[in-house]
Amino acid sequence: MNDARELLPVPSQESRPKRNLFAFLEGWLYLLPSIILFGVFVFYPMFRTIYLSFFLADQMGPFEFVGLENYQYIVSSDSFQSSVKATILFVLYTVPAGILLALFLALLTNEKIKGIGIFRTLFSSTMGMSVAASSVIWMFMYNPSIGVFSRIAEWLGFPAIQWLQNPDYALLAVSLSTVWMNAGFAYLIILGGLQNIDTHLYENAKVAGVSYLYQLRRITLPMLSPTLFFIVTVSFINAFQTFGQIDILTKGGPVESTNVIVYSIYKDAFINNDVGSASAQAVILFFCVLLLTALQFKLGERKVHYQ
């Protein structure tokens, strides 16, 4: 090893630029597959979507420039307004409930007791469940005549509810199933965050004899804040991108009460063949997600620093 080091030629002034050029080419070569794929399947279609949003278009492509008319049209259309309302309500129903549930389960399983591994595996299991499979199961559970929810309602003496056919309940029903579907992922992330907290902090707290709640408020939650912040943002973005459970459980109905934004884009583009309007909605979705991610990077950066 030492011999080799002595033999190592000191880079001379002539060979430096050559080596730099070589590193430059090699570096880009390693990145080329990613850059090409991102170019073709992420950046190009994003600009194309923005472009199409200014046109009347179908699946063949644009055919008439209309400026901002697509935007004016969707903003004033009842369908889009109900879609915005459904999306916002869906976010409000699923994000806080989902995170509280995951946090609760993660706090429970952060204790070191026998058999805790089994519970951890069970609680994370919905992460292995596909949206399609979960939705089919929940569809059965919501079945008004034989589903488990009707059985419970019947047992308690309430009338059976048409969960998915009633515009007052459909979004709530879809949200409940979504909270369950997303619980596994949020749980795994939060548990990971809890396990990263320095155990010395708890030992000190134990010596000082503080209560569990005090410990939770003064140590656990502040130390967990970067993780919580991350999962809040991701849950928001996921909620904006919901599609599968809507497609299987309600198809956006009844009376568009569950027509969340991605389902609305899908319907306009692939069923109504109105690609211009779908693109305008996609641009709006893009800006919502952009705002959330930018917020996360900006605030997340600050939070991680003082940890």
Partner 1 sequence: MILAKRISLYTVLVICAIIMMFPIFYAFSISFMDGGEVMGGQLLPSSLSLDNYLEVFKKVPLLTYLLNSFVTSAIVMGGQLLVSSLAAFAFVFIKFKGRDFVFFLFISTMMIPWEATMVPNFMTIQSLGWTNSYLGLTIPFFALAFGTFLLRQHFKTIPQELYEASQVAGISRFRFFWNVILPVSRSSLITLGIYSFLTNWNMYLWPLLVTNTESARTVQIGLKQLQTQEIASDWGIVMAGVVIVILPTLLLLFAGQKKLQKGLTQGAIK
Residues 197-236 that bind partner 1 (CB under 8 A): 226-227, 230, 234
Q: Look at phi and psi of residue 62 and say left if phi exceeds 0, alpha if psi is from -120 to 50, else beta.
A: beta
> Exposed, middle or buried by CB within 10 Å (0-12, 13-18, 19+), for 243?
middle
The verdict on 30 binding partner 1 (CB under 8 A) reads yes
The verdict on 102 binding partner 1 (CB under 8 A) reads no
Q: To 10 degrees, the CA torsion angle through 210, 227, 230, 89? A: -40
The rounded Cα 235 to chain-centroid distance in angstroms is: 4
Minimum CB separation of residue 120 from partner 1 in Å reads 7
The verdict on 105 binding partner 1 (CB under 8 A) reads yes
Of residues 250-279, those binding partner 1 (CB under 8 A): 262, 265-266, 269-270, 275, 278-279
Q: 74, 95, 183, 239: which one contacts partner 1 (CB under 8 A)?
A: 183
Q: 66, 144, 151, 166: which one contacts partner 1 (CB under 8 A)?
A: 151
Q: How far apart are CA 54 and CA 2, in angstroms?
A: 66
Minimum CB separation of residue 77 from partner 1 in Å reads 18
The verdict on 191 binding partner 1 (CB under 8 A) reads yes
Minimum CB separation of residue 48 from partner 1 in Å reads 4
Of residues 277-306, those binding partner 1 (CB under 8 A): 278-279, 282-283, 285-286, 289-290, 293-294, 297, 304
Minimum CB separation of residue 110 from partner 1 in Å reads 11
Beta carbon nearer to partner 1, 132 or 221: 132
Identify which of 267, 300, 301, 297 has the alpha carbon closest to the alpha carbon of residue 282.
267
Q: 68, 92, 136, 221: which one contacts partner 1 (CB under 8 A)?
A: 136
* Helix, strand, or coil (residue 297): helix
Sign (positive or negative) of CA dihedral 156, 158, 164, 169: negative
Of residues 78-97, those binding partner 1 (CB under 8 A): none
Amino acid, single-letter form, for residue 197: I
SS3 content of the chain, % helix, strand, coil (to 5): 75, 5, 20
Q: Which two tokens stand for residue 118?
A: 């089994």
Minimum CB separation of residue 116 from partner 1 in Å reads 8
- Sketch the per residue contact string, 35 through 64, with partner 1: x for CB under 8 A, - otherwise: x-xx-xxxxxxx-xx--x------x-x---
The verdict on 163 binding partner 1 (CB under 8 A) reads no
> Running DSSP on this structure, what letter comes out for residue 99?
H
**Do 273 and 58 meet the contact criterion of CB atoms below 8 Å apart?**
yes
Q: 63, 140, 158, 214: which one contacts partner 1 (CB under 8 A)?
A: 140
**Do 161 and 80 meet the contact criterion of CB atoms below 8 Å apart?**
no
Minimum CB separation of residue 109 from partner 1 in Å reads 7
